Structure 1
């Protein structure tokens, strides 16, 4: 492998971006009580895949393949986020309306079911300047994934 500055940058993007986005998702969930809906979970899965590809890109040839697959996984998460943001903004109907999270408290199963919050996919729990977390995932993930692919395509 020819380890160019572009290749190194692409590798680090594919590692750092999903790690930070997942870290932010878990911080908002466990630190601030913003529980994920079903579509929020769908956005996390490609980031986990991207992290696995990123680790492979540092240790197992063909490095460029792992970086490209990681970048595509990041873009997939961003596209899911874009779809979710559209559902939140009412631009189109979602494939699901809501989901719930398991309750970690003690007591009976019925108490746990009744105490579990219902998280709607069509309502943004938090926004900044009118952009929801799903919208930010779309912007950041698609931008980072495309940037990694562009860097990967560059010659020395």
Structure 2
């Protein structure tokens, strides 16, 4: 395994690559939903944390990198469940049904509907959605951040 300084840079670049991938999908016609944005914020934090850890040589910052990756992985798992209809997502991001709504309430629901719903799957590869991939890769990154934090070099 590379030394902790090299791993810190690689993990920082990994989060940057995740962000660039998300922005690339967005650019090519896959607009993000609210939960997609939530998954990006910890990666942004990890890039800043990683840059600081690399510049200052403070290995304890790797714990913050791990925490950021665990946060985005958890959001990815939650988002994956919403996409697969395993549980309800935030009402501002998913369909809440129309049963029992008055015409005025239905109109309000239509007018306040998000442009991109969190419970839709706009893209997948081999059954994996973007939220699934974020959850998996971010969990791997978290484990690697923890290895950096625990390293003795």
- TM-score, normalising length from structure 2? 0.79
Indicate which of 48, 56, 59 corresponds to 1:60. 56
For residue 124 of structure 1, report the CA deviation from its aligned partner.
Answer: 1.0
Return the alpha-carbon distance in structure 2 between the equivalents of residues 9 and 148 of structure 1. 12
RMSD: 2.2
1:24-71 Cα deviation digits (max 9, x unpaired): 0000001x110000000000111111111011011125x112222122
Return the alpha-carbon distance in structure 1 between the equivalents of residues 92 and 118 of structure 2. 6
Q: Which stretches of structure 1, 4 residues or longer, exceed 4 Å deviation after superposition?
A: none
Indicate the SS of the match to 1:91. coil
Q: How does 1:1-156 map to 2 (within 5 A)?
A: 5-30=2-27, 32-61=28-57, 63-98=58-93, 118-156=115-153
Indicate the SS of the match to 1:98. coil
For residue 23 of structure 1, report the CA deviation from its aligned partner.
Answer: 0.2
Query: Structure 2: any 5+ residue segments left out of the alignment?
Result: 95-110
Query: Structure 1: any 5+ residue segments left out of the alignment?
Result: 100-113
Contact 1:46 1:76 in 2 (8 A): yes
